[in-house]
Structures are given as C-alpha cells and as structure tokens.
Amino acid sequence: MSPPHNNGGLPAAQHEDTGSALTGADLIADYVKDLPGKPGVYRMYDRDQNVLYVGKAKHLKKRVSNYARPKGNPLRIRRMIAATASMEFIVTGSETEALLLEANLIKKLKPRYNILLRDDKSFPYILMRKDHPAAQLKKHRGARNIKGDYYGPFASAGAVNQTLDTLQRAFRLRTCSDSIYDARTRPCMLHQIKRCAAPCTGEISLEDYSKLNDEATAFLQGKTKQLRETMTAQMTAASKALDFEKAGEIRDRLRAMARVAGHGDGVNPETFNEADVAAIYMAGGQSCVQVFFFRAGHNWGNHAFFPRHTKDQSPEEVLDAFLGQFYGNKPIPKNIFVNVDLPNKDLIAEALSERSGRKIEIARPQRGEKKTLLDRAARNAQEALERKMAETAGQTKLLEGLREAFDLEATPKRIEVYDNSHIQGTNATAAFIVAGKDGFNKREYRTFNIKDKSTEPGDDYGMMREIMRRRFGRLMKEDEKGNRTNWPDLLLIDGGKGQLSAVTEALTDVGALDKVAVVAIAKGPDRNAGRETFYMPGRADFTLPPRTPVLYYLQRLRDEAHRFAIGTHRSKRKKQMITNPLDAIPNIGPARKRALLAVFGSAKAIKSASIDEIAKTEGVSRALAEKIHGYFNG
C-alpha cells in the first residue's frame, strides 16, 4: 500500500486558515477549483476548528463539488455545509486506501456528522503461550505482543472463562503463571481435580505435555472431528488392553470437548467454520448492530452495538460505516454475513482483504443455515434496541427530575460522582463515575492516587481539593488549547458542607466554579438511606421527598461511586499486602528471591537471620548478604 500524501497540488488554504471571509458552499466551491480527480479523504471544519465530517472519495473533485450545491442535499448535510469554515484533503493511491484512512480518522476524531461506532472496546482472547517449555493457556485482552497463538475474539470475559474451564477439563493444560510454575514442589489442587497435568512437578513429561498442547491447538483450530476420532480410537484401544483408568480419562476428556463445542446457546454452524454474523435493526431513529462471533466452528458469543447516527440515515448506510470502523483493531474473519445490501460491499471486502492479507467475503445469505443465523441475530438486535430505548426513556425522566430537584438550567447530559476511600489515611484513593441518558458509562470511570505530600493522612477535604484541582484544572487547560473536552453538567459529591466547601474552593482556584453545578449529598441520621440532606452553593440545605424515583436514582449514583472507590482502594491495599520486602532490595531478582524464601520461608525469618546464614543461600554472595541484613536491620 502506498502511503497517503497531503494536498498534492491542493489549495494552499488549509484548516488553519480561519480568517477567510468565505464559509459554507462558497468556501467549498473555492476549494473545488483546484481539487484533483483522484481518490482521497476530505475533512470539514467549523470556525472553532472542530472537525464536522470525514469523507472518502474515488474522485475528490466530483465528490466535494456536490457540497458546493447544497440544495440537493438532506437537511443534515445542508447544516454541515453551512457550518463549514475550512477543509483539508489527503490524496491516496486508491479508493481502498481512502476507505481505510477514512475509518481510522472517524474513530480518532469522532466527527459530529459521521456515523460513529461508540462502543469500540477490545475483546478478550484465549492465548496459548509458546515461549515456555510447558505451554500456558490464559485469557488475554489488549495488544498481542506475547509469543503464542491467539484464539478469538470472544464476545465477553464470561465466554472466555467458560471455554477455558472446559479446555482445562479436556486437555489439562496449565493456567498458572511462570513464577508459580517454577516455585511448585508438589502438584496443586488443579491436578488433584484433573484439570492440570502438572508438568511443573514432572507428573507428566514435557514430551507428553506437548502432545496435549497439540491436541488443544487442533481443537481450537476447528479440527474437532479428526481429534474426536483419534481420541475415540485411543479409548477403545485402552479398553481392549484392560487399561480402564486410561480409557476413563479419555472418556472424560471427550465429554469436556463436547461441552466446549456445545456452549453458546447450542448454535454452532455446520456449513462454515469462521465468520462474523452482523445484523442491524433500526427503529425510532436509532439502531442496534448485533454481531455473532464464530471461530473454529464454534459460537464464541455475541455483542450488541449502538452506533451514533442521524434519523435520516438508512440501515444500509449505518452497517456499511460500522464494518469499516469495527475491523480497524480486530482480526478479520474469512466471511462476514450481513442482513442488508451494503452500498460499498465490494470496496469494504477489498479493503478488509488488503488489511488482513487474505481474501475476505461479505455476503447476504438468502436461505439455509446462514440465513437462519442472520435472522436470529436480527431478532437479538431488535430485542436489544427495544430494551435500550425503554431504559433510555426512563433515564431521561430521571435526568429531567434532577433538573427540577436541583433547579438546573438544563437537563444534565453528563453527571460525575466523586468519592474518596482509605483506612486511617493509608492507601488513599479517589474516584469518579460517569452517568447520563444511557446509564452508567463505565468506560469513563477514573481513579486518582493522592500525590500531595502536604495532605494529612485521612484528610478527606484535602483529598477532595486535590482531585478537583487536578481534574478541572486539566479541563480548563484543554479548553484553552481548543481541544474538545467532556465537561460534566452536574457534579455530585459524597459528603456534607465541609466537602462542598472544599470542592467550591478548588473549583474557584482553577476558574471552573461557574462551569458546572455542584451538589453534595450527606447521609441521613444514623446513615439511613432515604433521609439524605443536599447542599448547593448559595442555597439552603434541603431534602427530597422519600421514596421518589429521583431520590432512589441519586442513591444509586452515590452507591456506585462508593463501590468503585472502595474497589480501587481494596485493589491497591491488596497489591501492597502481597508486595514482598525483598522486592525493594537491589540485585534481588526472582531467582534469588525464590532461593531465599525456599531456605527461610518468609521475609520475617530473613530479617532475623545472621549475615553468615543468609550467605549460605545459593546465589547469594557475602557482600549481598550484608546488604540484605543491612536493609532489614540497618
């Protein structure tokens, strides 16, 4: 693929030039004069340098000239044209390159007028690690930079865990970390319950363990039929040889394999081995895309997506744009089955083939098993969208109730709820959660470690001042740079007058007090839910009528923030508790640490040992023993 290049003889005025007197269709017509008849990508910006739209074109001049004649365009496009104050162009070597670049830019810039895949999360995989003599089977999410084979994606962590559990039963591969593997002196409980062959202690030779690994690999690659036939023959041979223990073991493994093949609501294809089934359902100006993942002949779960788009866009347009963005960071299956005719089907298939290095086919099946699976995915999409629309309607009423209860100027779209957590000042953390019309937005949750050394342990007010200065100071700086930021409309604080005072002081310091409404929620007498008192700047404290939906909603928000903050604190405290004091001593790596713990049993015992006793440990010199003794007793 040849790299895209910028401009290539295009107009000199780029989006930085905001002083131009031309805007809208006149500005676009001025650009069109010098545009080439080549494929490329164009971006449209408003006066504030916010990107309005990213588009691709097989012929830049013809495509962009359509915007110079706004009368023939829908209202949405006419508004976009009117708001355009500058444009930017990138010429590409082909329309396929333009499509790929367009999808990447849309995901990165999130333009207002583009169809946008909002929930582009990373999916979990099963990783078969091959960088150890005894291969490890584990769940993996994120960058795939560990040496080994990756299988997936799975629709959820639960689907991975279920498959891992049954793979352990069938093939008895280890799931423990290398440090635990190296430290074992006798088999663990997983071996006792027949879920691990225990290569760590030599219960199985590495050669025989490698055969188990090969069998698991064959199964995950979809070679199930051949594997079952081989194992059935082995079971029959063992039975004839009167080795009933071995025959029973193989029988149990075959049953576990059948369990893996049967999960996923019992929907496993017979007419194809690898595909994504993507069906869209649209109603009320909203849509849901339901994607089923089929790999190695197994159903590895499904996931619902709710793309952002305008009401006048068709299901075909939405799914077309969805696929281009969806596969930007995911392995692409050999087949993609869809339930509508895509405007750019051949172009998308060509782009995905180029990206994956193999031929990718996109089809709309009309009969048979594939059509049945598409119909099922479409029904799931319909049910998911109807649930979401019902939840959104209820959520909208609650947000409107908040506006009335707190006398806000507008219904809040983004609510941030803050809470602190510590035990007598130790492992102090703070966190906030985010909620809006779609409920809790867990991708936006954030945590803070308290950094200010002058904050006294357990000083909740000092902690709150610090995180407010950091959070809103950063938002103010981003605004000054002209970057798009996510300002909350409503700030909820778990606390009373003292917490409110600390927050308003911090917001005043950074100049953000007039940009967000602040409410502190104090628990009622005896910490009773339902008798909370609310505090707002410039307003007398007040309560809300008990047993009202708005009050219950506020309690849910506060409890979710508390749950998240407590979970973060516990994780930090647990990490500190399992940190060994030996980790802080220079030149004490994993091998020496294992050797010392094998001799003394614990860091406490090492602290009580003499230099001579420590120096007797394998790999520990006299000089290092003096350092260890000095660290504990200096």
Between CA 98 and CA 57 the distance in angstroms is 7
Residue 87 · residue 67 · CB < 8 Å: no
Predicted pLDDT of residue 200: 92
Check whether residue 81 and residue 135 sit in a common domain: no
Q: Are 298 and 268 a contacting pair, CB within 8 Å?
A: yes
- Of the CA atoms within 13 Å of residue 510, those in its CB half-sphere come to 24
Q: How far apart are CA 591 and CA 121, in angstroms?
A: 38
Q: Residue 477: which of 449, 510, 452 has the closest Cα?
A: 510
Q: Which residues contact 511 (CB under 8 A, 6 or more apart)?
A: 476
Max Cα distance, the chain (Å):
93
Residue 498 lies in a domain: yes
pLDDT score, position 565 = 85
Q: CA–CA distance from 75 to each of 81, 84, 310, 351, 624 (Å)?
A: 10, 14, 11, 31, 76
Whole-angstrom distance, CA of residue 429 vs CA of residue 409: 32
Residue closest to 494 by CA, chosen among 450, 547, 557, 429: 557
Domain boundary among 47, 74, 109: 109
DSSP 16: T
Report whether 598 contacts 616 (CB < 8 A): no
Say which DSSP state 488 is in: -
Same domain, 35 and 131: no
- 3-class secondary-structure state, position 301: strand
User: Which of 213, 232, 262 is the C-terminal boundary of a domain?
Assistant: 262
111 prior amide bond cis, ω within 30: no
Residue 54 inside a domain? The answer is: yes
Looking at the structure, tell me whether residues 293 and 252 fall in a common domain.
Answer: no
**CATH number of the domain that 604 lies in?**
1.10.150.20
Model pLDDT, residue 55: 94
**Structural tokens at position 139:** 């769940």
Buried b or exposed e, range 125-144, using 16+ CB within 10 angstroms = bbbbbeeeebbbbbbbbeee
Q: Where residue 314 sits, what CATH number does that domain have?
A: 3.30.420.340
Rounded CA-CA distance 96/356 in Å is 13
Distance CA 89, CA 8 (A): 9
- Which segments within 369-452 are labelled E, that is strand? 414-423, 426-436, 439-440, 446-449
Query: Which residue in this structure is represented by tokens 């595909």?
Result: 275
Bridge-based pairing of strands 136-140 and 125-129 is antiparallel
Classify residue 268: in a domain, yes or no: no
Q: How far is CA 467 from CA 315, 472, 494, in A?
A: 44, 8, 14
Instruction: Quote the number of domains for the chain.
Output: 5
3-state SS assignment for residue 402:
helix
To which residue do tokens 């007010």 refer? 461
Q: Do 448 and 563 share a domain, yes or no?
A: yes
In a domain, 229, yes or no: yes
What are the CA-CA distances from residue 117 to residues 104, 609, 612 (Å)? 11, 61, 64
- Please give the DSSP secondary-structure letter assigned to residue 11: -
Is residue 615 domain-shared with residue 485, that is, in the same domain? Answer: no
First vs last C-alpha separation in the chain: 63
Distance between CA atoms of residues 295 and 532, nearest Å = 52
Q: Is 554 found in the same domain as 450?
A: yes
Is 213 within 8 Å of 132 (Cβ atoms)? Answer: no
Please check whether residues 595 and 549 belong to one and the same domain: no
Domain match, 418 and 557 both = yes
Q: Is residue 395 part of a domain?
A: no
DSSP class of residue 467 equals H
549 plus 601 within the same structural domain: no
CA–CA dist 107, 87 (Å, integer)? 19
CA–CA distance, 398 with 625 (Å, rounded to integer): 65
Which residue is associated with the tokens 């960058």? 143
CA-CA-CA-CA torsion sign (112, 285, 392, 377): negative
Which of 218, 109, 132, 221 is CA-nearest to residue 182? Answer: 132
Q: CB–CB of 300/269 below 8 Å? A: no
Query: Could you tell me if residue 492 is inside a domain?
Result: yes
* Residue 44 domain flag: yes
Query: What is the spatial distance between Cα 252 and Cα 592, in angstroms, rounded to a whole number?
Result: 41
Are 308 and 441 within one domain? no
Residue 291: enclosing H or E segment and its boundaries? strand 286-295
> pTM for the complete prediction?
0.69
Residue 316 is part of which domain span?
275-386
Question: Which residue's structure tokens are 């109603």?
Answer: 283
The Cα 290–Cα 373 span in angstroms is 11
CA-to-CA separations, 512 to 174, 312, 450, 481, in angstroms, rounded: 53, 38, 21, 16
448: which 2 tokens?
Answer: 């803070």
**One domain for residues 420 and 548:** yes
Of the three residues 109, 136, 162, the one that is the final residue of a domain is: 109
Rg, C-alpha atoms of the chain: 30
Closest by CA to 560, choosing from 521, 614, 593, is 521
Q: What is the pLDDT of residue 6?
A: 47
SS3 52: strand
Q: Does residue 401 lie in a domain region?
A: no
**DSSP string of 614-626?**
HHTSTT--HHHHH
Residue 506 dihedral angles phi and psi, to the nearest 5°: -70, -45
Give the Cα separation of 72 and 74 in Å (integer). Answer: 7
Q: Are strands 490-494 and 533-536 parallel, antiparallel or unpaired?
A: unpaired
CA distance linking residue 322 with residue 513, whole number of Å: 39
The answer to whether residues 502 and 521 belong to one domain is yes
Per DSSP bridges, beta strands 51-57 and 125-129 are: unpaired
Give Cα separations from 389 to 186, 308, 360 (angstroms): 55, 14, 34
The helix (H) or strand (E) run that includes residue 478 is helix 460-481
Mean pLDDT by runs of 10 across the 634 residues of the chain is 43 42 85 91 91 94 89 86 92 92 91 85 85 89 84 83 83 88 87 89 91 86 78 84 81 73 58 92 92 86 91 93 88 94 94 92 94 94 90 88 93 92 63 90 86 73 90 89 81 92 94 92 68 90 88 90 80 58 76 80 79 88 87 76
Alpha-carbon distance of 396 to 242, in angstroms, equals 70
